[in-house]
């Protein structure tokens, strides 16, 4: 008789992979629907939480099944390991923001000027009614912001208000913010830009207001960024302000580089024109000298001709004075 060895399969290992894979699909679907299909933010957030919860449950079951497989020597290691890997990949996103959740203050309204923050002059038409209020929280939020983000301060540039406004407007365009309202600086009034910015992955919409005001010999830029949902922004609004200022500096450096290149180009053009002008003047001078030399040569030639003595050919002796009869006497008829 042939002996057959039967090994048991882990009943939990397949479920770990199924749950983790289903959680990943739910999380991806939530991001796609929210960013491209207009799924409301609360619904997308809840759907994302469901996906993360399923992935976490799959990871726990994978751990339990791996312990059983180790103890009892049953099958299912591959399915348990794949479930654990998928679960960890889904949880990587939330775990990335865990330090911000624990270390950052629970605020969602960040501004460079807490005493007089830029105001949102126009209410966005598609802004949900259940979104966070646009009223600034007050001194408590300002103190928390000062402790957590001491670098969030106004940007000051020693340029005209018109130049700074153009730099800020170009930076907003490069960051792909949707401009809702804007007002160029005029008649002593500051420039103003109101826009909507979206996060990279989920596409969460946040409201941003930028104010460009003239000072004494300088121009100041103040920014305010507000999350529409959630009491905690995980540092996103402060980072958005930093990114905007960084883009403004990039535009400023590019402008200075362009101006320097233009100045160098003008200087090179002027030097090239000066060399060509010098060559042209040299050719003209040589041509004038050659013409003067030829004219002098012609003048000397004329002078030599006029001063030379006139040599006349000797007059031939005319034979008419000979004795005409001599011919007839000599030759006769």
Cα–Cα distances in Å, from 119 out to 185, 211, 224? Answer: 16, 9, 8
Q: How many residues are given for the chain?
A: 333
pLDDT at 304: 67
Q: What is the pLDDT of residue 280?
A: 87
pTM here? 0.73
157: β partners: 219
The predicted pLDDT at position 289 comes to 86
Dihedral sign from CA coordinates of 108, 112, 118, 122: negative
- Residues 282-301: pLDDT tens digits? 888 888 888 888 888 888 77
The pLDDT, as a whole number, for residue 2 is 56
Check: CB of residue 135 under 8 Å from CB of residue 207.
Answer: no
Q: Distances in Å between the alpha carbon of 13 and those of 7, 56, 80?
A: 15, 14, 4
Distance of alpha carbon 134 from alpha carbon 59, whole angstroms:
40
Q: Which residue has the tokens 């012609």?
A: 298
Q: How far does the chain reach from its first CA to its final CA, in angstroms?
A: 177
* Residue listed under structure tokens 């008829």: 333
Do the Cβ atoms of 209 and 134 come closer than 8 Å?
Answer: no
What pLDDT, on a 0 to 100 scale, did the predictor assign at position 59? 96
pLDDT along the chain (333 residues), means of 10: 64 94 96 92 95 96 94 91 95 92 94 95 84 92 95 94 95 95 91 94 93 90 96 94 96 74 69 84 86 82 66 52 56 53
């Amino acid at each position: 008789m042939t002996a057959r060895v039967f090994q048991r399969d882990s009943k939990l290992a397949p479920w770990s992979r199924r749950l983790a894979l289903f959680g990943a699909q739910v999380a991806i679907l939530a991001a796609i629907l929210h960013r491209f299909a207009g799924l409301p933010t609360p619904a997308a957030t809840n759907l994302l939480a469901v996906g993360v919860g399923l992935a976490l449950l799959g990871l726990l079951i994978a751990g339990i099944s791996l312990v059983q497989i180790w103890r009892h020597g049953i099958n299912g290691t591959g399915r348990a390991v794949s479930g654990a890997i998928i679960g960890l990949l889904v949880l990587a996103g939330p775990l990335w923001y865990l330090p911000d959740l624990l270390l950052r203050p629970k605020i969602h309204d960040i501004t460079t000027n807490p005493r007089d923050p830029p105001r949102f002059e126009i209410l966005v038409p598609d802004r949900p009614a259940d979104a966070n209020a646009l009223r600034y929280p007050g001194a408590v939020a300002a103190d928390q912001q000062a402790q957590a983000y001491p670098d969030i301060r106004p940007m000051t540039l020693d340029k005209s208000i018109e130049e700074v406004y153009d730099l800020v407007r170009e930076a907003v365009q490069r960051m792909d913010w949707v401009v809702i309202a804007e007002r160029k600086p005029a008649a002593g009034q500051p420039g103003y830009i109101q826009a909507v910015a979206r996060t990279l992955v989920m596409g969460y919409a946040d409201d941003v207001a930028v104010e460009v005001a003239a000072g004494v010999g300088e121009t100041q830029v103040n920014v305010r960024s507000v999350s529409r949902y959630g009491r905690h922004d995980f540092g996103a609004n402060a980072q958005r302000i930093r990114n905007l200022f960084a883009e403004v500096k990039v535009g400023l450096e590019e402008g200075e580089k362009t101006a320097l290149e233009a100045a160098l180009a003008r200087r090179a053009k002027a030097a090239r024109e000066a060399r060509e002008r010098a060559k042209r003047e040299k050719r003209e001078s040589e041509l004038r000298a050659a013409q003067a030399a030829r004219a002098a040569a012609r003048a000397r030639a004329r002078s030599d001709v006029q001063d030379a003595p006139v040599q006349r050919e000797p007059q031939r002796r005319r034979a008419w004075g000979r004795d005409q009869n001599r011919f007839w006497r000599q030759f006769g008829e």
